[in-house]
Amino acid sequence: MKASPIAPTLSSPTLVPNSSKTWRFYLILFSLSFICFVAALDGSIIATALPKIANELSATNNYVWIANSFLVAQTVIQPLCAQLCNIFGRRMPMLISISVFALGSGIAGRTVQGLGSGGIMMLVELIICDLVPLRERGKYLDMVLSSSAVAAILGPVVGGALSLANWRWIFYLNIPISGITLAVMSIFLRLRHEREPTWMRALSRVDWVGNIIFVASLCSLLIGLVFGGLVYAWSSWKVILPIVVGVLGWIGFHIYEWRPPAFCKEVSIPPRIFATRTSAAGFYIDFISSVLLQWALKGAFSLRAGIDFIPYEAFLIVTAAVAGWILSKFGHYRPLHLLGFCLSILGPGLNISLSSSTPKAVWVVFQMIDAIGRALLLPTVLPAIMASLPDSDVAVATGMYSFLRSFGFVWGITIPGIIFNSQFDRYLKNVSDATVRQQLGSGRAYQLVSSDYIRSLDPIVQQEVISVYRRALRPVWIGAVAFGFTGLITVFVEKHIALRTELDTEYGIEGEISGKDEEKLADKPEVRGGGK
């Protein structure tokens, strides 16, 4: 008769406590931070250098698509990648993602690069979740995500320098760096997973139909959002049609996932991950905080150069580290989310008062308030989502979390862009020069603000244009405040759930034993001390 599980004795040499961290753990953590830094640096560098690249390649007409193909590919691939991680483990998808990223850098282009980056960003967080218990994840997620923030600071500087020297090195540099990371991970990223007996058995678990519907519908929706107001007017059928098709396809996808046919053995996004109020609220908080983060970036870059945005990123890094430590220490995420949204509302609200006479020290303080609010949310949302879900759902939940974050970035560009352009056109009549009015109207104002165009204008016209920019930005900040309130309300939907201190996963480091394995071993007489 099977004995009831008893905790292993301390003398058992085969058991590794969940709280212990080996040198392999820290090497994996460093590798994850490094590849996350490279992927984020690439995105921030391109934002600075892309105008010159598009001009030299005579591709200015395709500027919008070149700029956003990376983000579209990065967004749509993440749920599929999460399902593949459940079937094939974490190691091989990560190695493939790094290889695809390097391939896109050297040969295949931005869309392929985006596919690799999407896999990398999702897998980095997933592997952290596999290696540490839920209570500790905020601390280690911040360590990795901070590398992305550092990359965002360095990106504009490095991108500007390389674009002046030789912009091709922006892509070439990714190849040796990715190669080194790939070699290190090939050797040391040894993670366990239960392999299927055959490739056909493994491939039969993939939700092929669901993923095809999801990728196709999201590509259609994102293309409409990206092109709207920039390439075509929002009233154009070339914008409306892909958005409508994308929304209908997305609805059809969720219906399919809710009632899958008999041949679908495993859906890619199981509805159960939205079944609790805490996980559902967490996913919305993830989306809206990503919208607001990108919203703040867009609003700030409309007025000043990226170098002036360094204080924002610096406060973001430091506060995120503190937030991750507080979550790991005390295990309460709701107070952090509540304070985060309060500050995220206050920051844009204060920006409404900015004027030409506002001292630099004042807007730096406004940045600080906004950055602290965002940072309190960054490392604490994913642990909150996972609090009401079992560790067996960590891959699909992380995939949805990463997707909603990237999807939020798209809306964080689109919504303030719509508000800004409509308000700019409204006040454009205050510019006395008819030629300038024609050049800046119809959605072109944001594209020209960071160039030498403004400085080339007559001083009187220049002041008129800057005044219009300021007046158009105020509704953008008001919109940010309104969206922030929706996140604040959602915090009250969340429920406090104690964060688990034990790790229960089948995907830990090879040779180290998780809580689930401890329970299995506890049933064996030789582990309990009752055998030979």
Task: Label residue 323 exposed, middle or buried (CB < 10 Å: 0-12, 13-18, 19+).
Answer: buried
pLDDT on residue 63: 60
In whole angstroms, give the CA distance from residue 150 to residue 142: 12
Q: CATH number of 23-206+266-512: 3.20.20.60, 1.20.950.20, 1.10.645.10, 1.20.1250.20?
A: 1.20.1250.20
- Is residue 3 predicted with pLDDT exceeding 50? no
Distance CA 273, CA 254 (A): 13
pTM over 0.75: yes
Average of per-residue pLDDT values in the chain: 81
* Per-residue pLDDT tens over the stretch 273-303: 999 999 999 999 999 999 998 887 665 554 4
Residue type, 191: L
| Weakest-pLDDT range from 102-116, 119-133, 305-319 | 305-319
Is residue 43 predicted with pLDDT exceeding 80? no
Largest CA distance in the chain: 94
Q: pLDDT by residue (tens digit) across 179-233?
A: 888 888 888 888 888 888 888 888 889 999 999 999 999 999 988 888 887 778 8
Sequence-ordered alpha helix ranges (H) in 6-133: 23-56, 63-76, 78-88, 91-103, 110-131
pLDDT, mean of residues 221-246 = 87
pLDDT tens string 392-444:
899 999 999 999 998 998 888 888 888 888 888 888 888 888 888 887 877 77
Q: What are the residue boundaries of the structural domains of the chain, listed by start?
A: 23-206+266-512, 207-265
How confident is the model at residue 144, as a pLDDT? 84
Residues 172, 412, 400, 380: is their CA dihedral positive or negative? Answer: positive
Percent of the chain residues past pLDDT 70, beyond the cut: 82
Tokens 């989310």 sit on residue: 337
Give the whole-angstrom CA distance, residue 119 versus residue 319: 27
The torsion angle over the Cα atoms of residues 524, 527, 529 and 532, rounded to 10 degrees, is 70
Q: Is the pLDDT of residue 320 over 80?
A: yes
Residue with tokens 């590398």: 147
Residues 6+ apart with CB under 8 A from 324: 138, 139, 140, 141, 142, 143, 379, 380
State the Cα–Cα distance between residues 124 and 126, nearest whole angstrom: 6
pLDDT in tens, 392-403: 899 999 999 999
Higher pLDDT, 359 or 14: 359
**What phi and psi values does residue 356 have, to the nearest 5 degrees?**
-65, -20
- From CA 28, how far away is CA 189, in angstroms rounded? 6
